[in-house]
Amino acid sequence: MTPKLNSLERDARVMRLYEQLLEIEQRLIPTGLHVFGSAAELQEKADLLRMVASFDRPEEGTRALPKLVAEALRIENYEELLHDPSSSETKEVVDAIVIEAVQKFCELGADAAAVWLNSRSGVAAETSLPTFRLLTTVSEQLDANAELDSLLSALRGEYIEPGPGADIVQNPMVLPTGRNTHAVNPYSVPTQLAFDRAKHTAAALLQRCLDEQGHYPRAMALVLWGLDNIKTQGDGVAQALWLLGVRPIRDALNRATDIEVIPLEELQRPRIDVVLTVSGIFRDLFAPTMTLLDKAVRCVATLAEPLEMNYVRRNVKEKMEAESWSFDDAVTRVFSNAPGNYGSNVNFMVMDSQWESEETLGDLFVTRKCFAYTRDSRGRTVEGREAPHLMNDALSRVEATYQNIDSFEIGITDVDHYFEYLGGVSRAVETNSKARPAIYLSDSLSPQVRIRSLEETVRLETRTKTLNPKWYEGMLKHGFRGVAEIENHVANTFGWSATTNAVDPWIYTEVSKTFLLDPVMFERLLELNPHSLRSLMKRLLEAHERGYWNPDEEILETLRERLDNLRQELEVTA
Ligand code: BEZ
Ligand code: MG
């Protein structure tokens, strides 16, 4: 029986529910696939423009519209409210004004929007105009799609203008698309902006660990990707440095090649031990950053600080004293694939159903990712030394795993790489530490810091994408490919069950009801793409067979029957 709630508890519960609904409602999702050569649709454009206008952009001389509105309304603690994960009426008032201002912009243009904002909230028109002018440029460039022309130029062997690679919200200068994406100067990473941003994220992450576990994690495993750190100019790298309690410093050529220790009095918490599992792309693009991270861990390990305030030192010392490990071995924390190799292959193993126990998936992750990148005590570079024992040992102390998400277009169920990496490393931790770690994600999609558990993120992605009619109808407009996308999402969700068991069973039940048990939808999918439909049903039955979902026998029966019929039909037509 559910215990009776008093009125305070009930109010708190209703408030939490309200906040969750708001979070789902406000989440930006792609409502269709990008069509090569086509511009974004109007509503999608308005949402994007609002996100672009939510950040201060000193390099463009523009201010964030929400901040301008908050200042004009004399809201004093707006900056703090932004970093507070719970919602508030004040934030809602500001957001509503900004949404309407961007709507006005879309209808009437920059000048009229600035005048409207002035009359509505008192922001001087000349203060908001630079932001609206930036939106004009972004909007025009979104409409002027040069992808097809550039492709033809490339095929003719002509010159393609270069442009930065990033997310539009992170850096609107990526527009227009259809240019030759260039990467980043690895020595510039992390930028000051990324480092400032990471301070809030790292603090929120540790606060969440503290709230849930009652203590700081003895060690954390982080996943770092190359493209993400290009897009964010080093958010992930900066978060790792904050956890260690160091800041990057720049040499005479303005290159981030060294670190400076943040004193414990300033940090006000212990230094966290971090195990860095790095993608092959990151390793290739960010060699100096790999060195910087390794240097940071080594430096922190040698600080003369109390062990209870410096977990790196405590863990390294323990290995050296109790098991006579060398300092170089005990301090190794940066791992990636063997040189020239990429990926963990955990995704392939899951997709092909070629695994017996979950442990195999974690073991595969370590086999693929256990190559150490470091510089030894004599300064010699070690590039890809196969060291499974060092990685397993480092993972055995990990109590929480974490990855930063940097784009609203690609989330944890859109591609198989998130479960391949974060799922893979979490599973490897479970084997080595004999306990499942807490698994967290953050997103740097909005000015607010959001830390979510993996379970919360899977629910949010499922509600806003896989089970959201706006999302799946958007996909189904693409016909054959759209059904494949739906199937992909379910397969990727299954990947989280396989690696972390973080998927609520109701998710599989609702997927079945929405796509397979509803006769009209079933017929639509059958017509558009019977192959993906068959894979979808097989995957759901696999979820049941592997113990992640135990629905009513009636649902299973219907699934089996429909799968059988479809098999026969496909064989006949083959
Ligand atoms: C990367 O950018 O490092 C990356 C991209 C796709 C999959 C995995 C990693
Ligand atoms: Mg892929």
pLDDT values of the chain reduced to their tens digit, one per residue, 574 residues: 556 788 888 888 888 888 888 888 877 777 778 888 887 777 778 888 998 999 888 878 999 999 999 999 998 888 777 766 565 788 889 999 999 999 999 999 999 999 999 999 999 999 999 999 999 999 999 888 889 999 999 999 999 998 887 778 878 888 988 998 876 788 989 988 899 989 999 999 999 999 999 999 999 999 999 988 988 889 999 999 999 999 999 998 889 999 999 999 999 999 999 999 999 999 999 999 999 999 999 999 999 999 999 999 999 999 999 999 999 999 999 999 999 999 999 999 999 999 999 999 999 999 999 999 999 999 999 999 999 999 999 999 999 999 999 877 789 999 999 999 999 999 999 999 999 999 999 986 666 788 999 999 999 999 999 999 999 999 999 999 999 999 999 999 999 999 999 999 999 999 999 999 999 999 999 999 999 999 999 999 999 999 999 999 999 999 999 999 999 988 877 6
The alpha carbon of 235 and the centre of ligand 1 are apart by a number of angstroms equal to: 15
The pLDDT, as a whole number, for residue 569 is 86
Nearest atom of ligand 1 to the alpha carbon of 415: 7
Separation of alpha carbons 529 and 80, rounded Å: 49
The pLDDT, as a whole number, for residue 184 is 74
Substitution candidate for ligand 1 out of 189, 228, 284, 344 with most atoms within 8 A of CB: 228
Q: Is the peptide bond before 176 cis (omega within 30 degrees of 0)?
A: yes
The pLDDT, as a whole number, for residue 527 is 97
Closest ligand, as measured to the CA of 343: 1
Closest ligand, as measured to the CA of 165: 1
The alpha carbon of 254 and the centre of ligand 1 are apart by a number of angstroms equal to: 27
Check residue 464 and report its DSSP letter. I
Separation of alpha carbons 449 and 452, rounded Å: 10
For residue 89, how many other CB atoms are within 10 A of its CB?
Answer: 7
Q: Is the peptide bond before 190 cis (omega within 30 degrees of 0)?
A: yes
The alpha carbon of 347 and the centre of ligand 2 are apart by a number of angstroms equal to: 9
The alpha carbon of 104 and the centre of ligand 2 are apart by a number of angstroms equal to: 39
- Return the structure tokens found at 415: 């591609």
174-205 as b/e, with b when 16 or more CB fall inside 10 Å? Answer: bbbbbbeeeebebbbbbbebbbebbbbbbbbb
Closest ligand, as measured to the CA of 492: 2
Nearest atom of ligand 1 to the alpha carbon of 281: 3
Substitution candidate for ligand 1 out of 184, 224, 227, 421 with most atoms within 8 A of CB: 227
For residue 156, how many other CB atoms are within 10 A of its CB?
Answer: 7
The alpha carbon of 415 and the centre of ligand 2 are apart by a number of angstroms equal to: 7
Closest ligand, as measured to the CA of 417: 1
The pLDDT, as a whole number, for residue 440 is 98
The alpha carbon of 212 and the centre of ligand 1 are apart by a number of angstroms equal to: 30
The answer to pTM > 0.85 is yes
- Residue bearing the CA closest to ligand 1, atom 4: 225
What sign does the CA torsion over 488, 494, 495, 500 have?
A: positive
The alpha carbon of 340 and the centre of ligand 1 are apart by a number of angstroms equal to: 14
The alpha carbon of 45 and the centre of ligand 2 are apart by a number of angstroms equal to: 27
The alpha carbon of 560 and the centre of ligand 1 are apart by a number of angstroms equal to: 36
Nearest atom of ligand 1 to the alpha carbon of 279: 3
Contact 342, 420 (CB under 8 A): no
The alpha carbon of 362 and the centre of ligand 1 are apart by a number of angstroms equal to: 19
- Residue bearing the CA closest to ligand 1, atom 7: 417
Substitution candidate for ligand 1 out of 417, 419, 420 with most atoms within 8 A of CB: 417
Q: Please state whether beta strands 256-261 and 246-250 pair in parallel, antiparallel, or not at all (unpaired).
A: antiparallel
The alpha carbon of 364 and the centre of ligand 1 are apart by a number of angstroms equal to: 18
- Residue bearing the CA closest to ligand 1, atom 6: 417
Identify the residues whose C-beta falls under 6 Å from ligand 1.
225-227, 279, 281-282, 417
Closest ligand, as measured to the CA of 284: 1
The pLDDT, as a whole number, for residue 183 is 67
What sign does the CA torsion over 140, 144, 145, 149 have?
A: negative
The alpha carbon of 418 and the centre of ligand 2 are apart by a number of angstroms equal to: 10
Separation of alpha carbons 373 and 377, rounded Å: 13
Q: Which helix (H) or strand (E) holds 374?
A: strand 371-375
- Residue bearing the CA closest to ligand 1, atom 8: 417
Substitution candidate for ligand 1 out of 189, 230, 232, 279 with most atoms within 8 A of CB: 279
The alpha carbon of 417 and the centre of ligand 2 are apart by a number of angstroms equal to: 7
Q: Measured at the alpha carbon of residue 554, what is the angle toward residues 548 and 555, in degrees to the nearest 5?
A: 45
Nearest atom of ligand 1 to the alpha carbon of 343: 8
The alpha carbon of 279 and the centre of ligand 1 are apart by a number of angstroms equal to: 6
Closest ligand, as measured to the CA of 225: 1
Nearest atom of ligand 1 to the alpha carbon of 224: 3
Separation of alpha carbons 343 and 417, rounded Å: 8
The pLDDT, as a whole number, for residue 402 is 98
Closest ligand, as measured to the CA of 232: 1
DSSP 3-state assignment of 453? strand
Closest ligand, as measured to the CA of 285: 1
Nearest atom of ligand 1 to the alpha carbon of 225: 3
